[in-house]
Amino acid sequence: MGSLSKQEQVECREKAEYANVNWDELGFALTKTDYMYVMNFTEEEQKFFNGTLTRFGNIEMCPSSGILNYGQGLFEGLKAYRKEDEGILLFRPQENALRMKMGADRMCMPSPTVDQFIDAVKKTVLANKRWVPPYGRGSLYVRPLLMGTGRNLGVKPSSDYTFLVYASPVGNYHKVYCCREASLKVKHVLELNNTLFLKGDLNLMVEDNVHRAIPGGTGGIKAVTNYSPVYKPLTEAKAKGFSDLLFLDASTGSNIEEGSACNIFILKGNVISTPATHGTILPGITRKSIMEIASGFGYQVEERAIPIKEVFDAEEVFCTGTAMVVKSVASITYQGKRIQYKLGAETLAQKLHATLTGIQTGLIEDKLGWTMLI
């Protein structure tokens, strides 16, 4: 491209069908893409308007904005998948739009309409089409953000808001962490617990000191402030070789709730159970989809309080989430006791994973109208 101007070189690159990415190396980390979508809500207009695609990059905001000072913000996560015939499918974007509306209400924020949300997601994905991994080699993770961006110093809702959508190609959620943490700590874990943690496996440690959410709090919405408070115990658990934490309910400390970025299910006989969402558990869209798929398979699906004791009798345990998809739990450690679970091709988690991703990538007929071709 030596004789081309900078602008021409950029245009040439962008015409390429696929970005220059090693798709097989993708974990869950940001790869910068070409465009993001930005739409504002102002005090004067009292609505979101003039949404536009702009180059992906840093944004400016007032140091006294609501998001920076008081955490007035929400995020969403959804994925775009490439089909075998190169078409691109979004998975249940209406659900994300509705969840953002629900969260915005709790956080005293205005939210884009469902149509505005979906339009923004579609435009972001299409503008970054070359970053959607080839069929079967990952997905484009789309991250909508809703932020209080007006100026205010006092504790009150922001006057102005920004809705921003960016995207990044991703692969396996736990790949990066597990390779990095487990490979460093395997020896230590072996000495301590006489158990080998294999890289990529999901080994959970039950956190019985720090709580992720409290009744009446914001655990049931995707508030940005729900995530960083778990960094400290999570970092400590990862230093011991665990991949994630399993949180207990704050009221009794005896029922399981969720991981730091995923919902949880247990299997016993023909019954699949997951903690009921009563405001402290995120109503995951993958969680909801898996419940429907499992019912279709003939399982009895229950949403209820699950005492930690029950987890130790489960035949299988698995986690779900947009980022995580469906992943078998290899082990759970609680108060010095560890139980290991069935893994591999014969697990229900694998069957559910195959069905869900089959629908998401267009391999399995979408009888439920979950996917949107864009």
Is 222 annotated as catalytic? yes
3-state secondary structure the chain: CCCCCHHHHHHHHHHCCCCCCCHHHCCCCCCCCCEEEEEEECCCCCCEEEEEEEECCCCCCCCCEHHHHHCCEEECCEEEEECCCCCEEEECHHHHHHHHHHHHHHCCCCCCCHHHHHHHHHHHHHHCHHHCCCCCCCEEEEEEEEEECCECCCCCCCCCEEEEEEEEEECCCCHHHHHHHHHHHHHHHHHHHCCCCCCCCEEEEEECCCCCCCCCCCCCCCEHHHCHHHHHHHHHHHHCCCCEEEEECCCCCCEECCCCCCEEEEEECCEEEEECCCCCCCCCHHHHHHHHHHHHCCCEEEEECCEHHHHCCCCEEEEEECCCEEEEEEEEEECCEEEECCCCCCCHHHHHHHHHHHHHCCCCCCCCCCEEEC
Residues 278-317 touching ligand COI, rule: CB under 6 A, are none
CB of 229 vs ligand COI, minimal distance in Å? 13
**Of residues 79, 101, 222, 238, which has the active-site annotation?**
222
Closest CB to ligand COI among residues 41, 242: 242
Q: By CB under 6 A, tell whether 233 contacts ligand COI.
A: no
Residues 70-99 touching ligand COI, rule: CB under 6 A, are 77
Residues 138-197 touching ligand COI, rule: CB under 6 A, are none
Closest CB to ligand COI among residues 39, 325: 325
CB of 78 vs ligand COI, minimal distance in Å? 7
Closest CB to ligand COI among residues 77, 138: 77
CB of 213 vs ligand COI, minimal distance in Å? 14
The contact pattern for ligand COI, residues 245-264, with x = CB under 6 A and - = no contact, is: ----------------x---
Closest CB to ligand COI among residues 145, 189: 145
* Binding residues with ligand COI: total (CB under 6 A): 6
Q: By CB under 6 A, tell whether 102 contacts ligand COI.
A: no
Q: By CB under 6 A, tell whether 68 contacts ligand COI.
A: no
Closest CB to ligand COI among residues 324, 359: 324
CB of 267 vs ligand COI, minimal distance in Å? 21
Q: By CB under 6 A, tell whether 213 contacts ligand COI.
A: no
CB of 30 vs ligand COI, minimal distance in Å? 11
User: Looking at the annotation, which residues are catalytic?
Assistant: 222
